[in-house]
Amino acid sequence: MPIVVDVDVMLARRKMSVGELAERIGITPANLAVLKNGRAKAVRFATLAALCEALDCQPGDLLRWEAAGEPDRLPGQDAPVSR
């Protein structure tokens, strides 16, 4: 999918668990996991705003676009991530 969700990166930077973030923004940990793992088809602006508030970040810190066929890269990396 061309849109990559980096919630896990921000969770690690903030040393916060999925459960704690889910509680702070008012969604279930299962729904947050769907978003975090890139299986979500859409995200409401209200949810995105709540994520940004809880993680003290900007939407661009959580979402990025990759051209189809590009290998996954971590933010700020020049080399692809091996999986």
pLDDT of residue 23: 97
> 27 and 54 in contact (C-beta within 8 Å)?
no
Report angle CA 74, 70, 59 to the nearest 5 degrees. Answer: 50
Q: List, as one string, the DSSP characters of 23-77.
A: HHHTS-HHHHHHHHTT--S---HHHHHHHHHHHT--HHHHEEE--TTPPP--TT-
pLDDT of residue 69: 75
pLDDT of residue 68: 83
Give the phi and the psi of residue 64 in degrees, each rounded to 5: -145, 155
What's the whole-number mean pLDDT along residues 30-56?
95
Q: What's the predicted TM-score (pTM) here?
A: 0.78
pLDDT digits (tens, 9 = 90+) for 13-30: 999 999 999 999 999 999
